[in-house]
Amino acid sequence: MSAFDLTPPTDAQRQALESSLSPDEARVLLQHGTEAPFCGVFLDNKRDGVYCCRLCALPLFRSSTKFDSGTGWPSFFAPFAPEHVREIRDISHGMIRTEITCARCGSHLGHVFPDGPPPTFERHCLNSVSLSFTENGASYDDPLQRGGAEAEPAG
To the question of whether residue 52 is assigned a binding role by annotation, the answer is no
To the question of whether residue 102 is assigned a binding role by annotation, the answer is yes
Query: Out of 29, 52, 100, 125, which one is annotated catalytic?
Result: 125
The reply to whether 125 belongs to the active site is yes
To the question of whether residue 39 is assigned a binding role by annotation, the answer is no
Q: CA-to-CA distance for 18 and 102, rounded, in angstroms?
A: 14
Closest CA to 139 of 29, 73, 59, 75: 59
Annotated binding site for Zn(2+): 53, 56, 102, 105
Residue numbers belonging to the annotated binding site: 53, 56, 102, 105
Query: Which residues have a catalytic role annotated?
Result: 125
